């Protein structure tokens, strides 16, 4: 038996000491990187330019062949497996979208199903279903050509195309990078809703820490030379940055960003259950974010929040306690 590390039961992607040394380059682009991504997890790779994010992503579907190390998908070592069948199980979305201009939207989406031998009528139905899924009206868009769509719409079609063969894994390289900030935020939110229903294993590259915090179940922060500086949930990273590099990278807004990730229930956990009641409290759900709770308190002029309520089991927290607890970086770990 080999004593090399093996993926755990719930791992969908497992990188074992993977390196990439491009020919002619003095330094490796990615060096001895190991990471495990669980089934159904949305992991975001983030870090400064040139730290090896895209190289790492492309080694997963072997668009870039690793120089050393092993790659496992769903428990199987695919380091030397047939590339075509590997890629059939992996959707790939890039910033430049790459829709074919002479094909209709339906035909663009159905490219892979066609390659796999799906019948014309079934392909059409699949394209319509996917357009619906990504929030585009099939009746309007199915017969259009890429240039008749806005940037944001084209990006949605790119996502639909990547989903066409229903791959368990999706790789996305700056998928929302080419659209303006408002469309970008809308696409991010839509994508989160979509992911809640399809639960793919997703690895996404971005250089935007806010996008990473908003989307990722876990975030891998790469330092120079592909050093994995921290790989954890957004809340844990904001609460306990691993080192000065991570602290600098997430920037000065961490305490405020945490408010949008922290739940009222997280904060309540650090108080005794018999806090005095408040005469003027606003009712808030325990699953609400602290950010939203603060908004409600400030807008209503209440003294604090009341959580629960049924059967006289309400718990109360005044504004000051809410703020103090929300500002405690080490108390809360998801
Ligand atoms: N095809 C290539 N040939 C030679 N060197 C390359 C190639 N692709 C990337 N590199 C180098 O490898 C390093 C990592 O590049 P990579 O694109 O993976 O980084 P990145 O973190 O995705 O950067 P960015 O955020 O700027 O896209 C860089 O120094 C880059 O110049």
Give the per-residue pLDDT at 333.
41
Which residues make beta-bridge pairs with 14?
Answer: 36, 72
- Looking at the fold, whether 167 and 56 belong to one and the same domain comes out as yes
Q: Which of 17-21, 108-112, 164-168, 189-193 has the highest mean pLDDT?
A: 17-21
Instruction: Write down which residue in 194, 224, 252 finishes a domain.
Output: 252
User: Which residue has the least CA distance to atom 10 on ligand 1?
Assistant: 29
- Spatial neighbors of 62 by CB under 8 A, at least 6 apart, are 71, 78, 83, 86, 87
- Spatial neighbors of 283 by CB under 8 A, at least 6 apart, are 305, 306, 307, 309
Q: Tell me if 45 is assigned to some domain.
A: yes
Closest to 229 measured CA to CA, from 83, 45, 86: 45
- Looking at the fold, whether 114 and 181 belong to one and the same domain comes out as yes
- Looking at the fold, whether 235 and 287 belong to one and the same domain comes out as no
C-alpha–C-alpha distance, residues 199 and 205, integer Å: 18
- Looking at the fold, whether 32 and 136 belong to one and the same domain comes out as yes
Give the per-residue pLDDT at 218.
97
- Looking at the fold, whether 223 and 267 belong to one and the same domain comes out as no
Q: How far is the CA of 51 from the centre of ligand 1 (A)?
A: 7
Q: Tell me if 159 is assigned to some domain.
A: yes
Q: Tell me if 2 is assigned to some domain.
A: no
Which residues make beta-bridge pairs with 169?
Answer: 90, 201
Cβ–Cβ under 8 Å, residues 297 and 322: yes
With a threshold of 0.90, tell me whether the complex ipTM lies above it. Answer: yes
Q: How far is the CA of 88 from the centre of ligand 1 (A)?
A: 25
Q: What is the dihedral of CA 321, 322, 327, 332, to 10 degrees?
A: 110
Instruction: Write down which residue in 252, 278, 299 finishes a domain.
Output: 252
pLDDT tens profile 37-81: 999 999 999 999 999 999 999 999 999 999 999 999 999 999 998
| Token pair listed for 194 | 């979509």
Q: Tell me if 308 is assigned to some domain.
A: yes
Strand residue runs (E) in the chain? 11-20, 30-38, 42-46, 68-73, 76-77, 90-94, 169-173, 201-206, 218-222, 228-232, 281-284, 304-307, 315-318
Helices in 9-77 by DSSP H: which ranges?
A: 53-60
179 or 131, which is more confident?
A: 131
For the segment 298-317, the average pLDDT, to the nearest whole number, is 84
Q: How far is the CA of 79 from the centre of ligand 1 (A)?
A: 21
| CATH value at residue 51 | 3.40.50.300
Say if residue 140 is exposed, middle or buried (CB neighbours under 10 Å; 0-12, 13-18, 19+). exposed
- Spatial neighbors of 16 by CB under 8 A, at least 6 apart, are 4, 5, 34, 69, 70, 71, 72
The residue segments making up the domain with residue 230 are 11-252
- Looking at the fold, whether 96 and 154 belong to one and the same domain comes out as yes
Which residues make beta-bridge pairs with 44?
Answer: 204, 219
C-alpha–C-alpha distance, residues 311 and 28, integer Å: 62
Q: How many CB atoms lie within 10 A of CB 276?
A: 6
Test site for ligand 1: of 29, 45, 47, 66, most ligand atoms within 8 A of the Cβ: 29
Number of structural domains the chain divides into? 2
Cβ–Cβ under 8 Å, residues 228 and 222: yes
C-alpha–C-alpha distance, residues 59 and 65, integer Å: 6
Range in 37-46, 75-84, 97-106, 111-120 with the lowest mean pLDDT: 111-120
Q: Tell me if 333 is assigned to some domain.
A: no
Give the per-residue pLDDT at 329.
59
Kindly state the percentage of the chain with pLDDT values over 70.
96
- Looking at the fold, whether 29 and 108 belong to one and the same domain comes out as yes
- Looking at the fold, whether 223 and 274 belong to one and the same domain comes out as no
- Looking at the fold, whether 42 and 85 belong to one and the same domain comes out as yes
- Spatial neighbors of 200 by CB under 8 A, at least 6 apart, are 40, 91, 163, 167, 168, 169, 170
- Looking at the fold, whether 315 and 241 belong to one and the same domain comes out as no
Test site for ligand 1: of 45, 54, 221, most ligand atoms within 8 A of the Cβ: 54
Q: How many CB atoms lie within 10 A of CB 212?
A: 24
Give the per-residue pLDDT at 312.
64
Give the residues surrounding ligand 1 with Cβ less than 6 Å away. Answer: 22, 25, 29, 47, 49-55, 207
- Looking at the fold, whether 86 and 208 belong to one and the same domain comes out as yes
Q: How far is the CA of 74 from the centre of ligand 1 (A)?
A: 27
- Looking at the fold, whether 55 and 149 belong to one and the same domain comes out as yes
Report the interhelical angle of 319-326 vs 290-300 (nearest 10°).
150
- Spatial neighbors of 89 by CB under 8 A, at least 6 apart, are 73, 74, 167, 168, 169
User: Which residue has the least CA distance to atom 30 on ligand 1?
Assistant: 50
Q: Tell me if 3 is assigned to some domain.
A: no
Cβ–Cβ under 8 Å, residues 189 and 182: no
pLDDT band (50, 70, 90) for residue 331: very low
Q: Tell me if 5 is assigned to some domain.
A: no
69 or 188, which is more confident?
A: 69
Q: How far is the CA of 68 from the centre of ligand 1 (A)?
A: 17
Q: Tell me if 182 is assigned to some domain.
A: yes
| CATH value at residue 294 | 3.10.580.10
| Token pair listed for 97 | 């979208």
| Token pair listed for 197 | 């229903």
Q: How far is the CA of 206 from the centre of ligand 1 (A)?
A: 13
User: Which residue has the least CA distance to atom 8 on ligand 1?
Assistant: 55
For the segment 270-275, the average pLDDT, to the nearest whole number, is 81
Instruction: Write down which residue in 214, 232, 252 finishes a domain.
Output: 252
Give the per-residue pLDDT at 311.
62
- Phi/psi region, residue 42 (left: phi>0; alpha: psi -120 to 50; beta: rest), is beta
Direct distance between the N- and C-terminal alpha carbons of the chain, in angstroms, rounded to an integer: 36
Give the per-residue pLDDT at 89.
86
């Amino acid at each position: 038996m080999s004593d090399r590390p093996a993926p755990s039961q719930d791992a969908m992607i497992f990188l074992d000491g993977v390196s990439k040394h491009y020919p002619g380059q003095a330094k490796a682009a990615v060096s001895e990187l190991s990471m495990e991504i669980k089934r159904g997890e949305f992991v975001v790779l983030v870090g400064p330019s040139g730290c090896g994010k895209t190289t790492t992503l492309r080694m997963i579907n072997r668009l870039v062949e690793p120089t050393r190390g092993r790659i496992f998908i769903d428990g199987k070592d695919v380091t030397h497996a047939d590339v075509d069948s590997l890629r059939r199980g992996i959707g790939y979305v890039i910033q430049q979208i790459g829709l074919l201009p002479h094909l209709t939207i339906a035909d663009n989406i159905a490219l892979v199903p066609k390659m796999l031998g799906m019948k014309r009528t079934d392909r059409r139905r699949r394209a319509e279903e996917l357009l619906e899924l990504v929030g585009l009206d099939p009746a309007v868009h199915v017969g259009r050509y890429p240039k008749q769509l806005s940037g944001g719409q084209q990006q949605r079609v790119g996502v639909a195309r990547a989903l066409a063969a229903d791959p368990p894994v999706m790789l996305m390289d700056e998928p929302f990078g080419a659209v303006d900030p408002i469309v970008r935020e809308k696409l991010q939110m839509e994508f989160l809703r979509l992911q809640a229903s399809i639960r793919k294993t997703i690895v996404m590259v971005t250089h935007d820490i806010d996008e990473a915090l908003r989307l990722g179940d876990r975030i891998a922060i790469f330092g120079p030379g592909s050093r994995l500086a921290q790989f954890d949930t957004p809340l844990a990273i904001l609460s306990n940055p691993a080192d000065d590099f991570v602290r600098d990278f997430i920037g000065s807004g961490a305490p405020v960003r945490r408010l949008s990730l922290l739940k009222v229930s997280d904060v309540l956990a650090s108080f005794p259950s018999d806090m005095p009641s408040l005469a003027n409290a606003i009712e808030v759900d325990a699953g609400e974010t602290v950010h939203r709770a603060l908004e409600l308190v400030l807008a209503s002029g209440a003294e604090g929040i009341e959580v629960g309520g049924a059967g006289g089991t309400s718990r109360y927290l005044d504004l000051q306690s809410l703020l103090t607890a929300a500002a405690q970086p080490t108390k809360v770990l998801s």
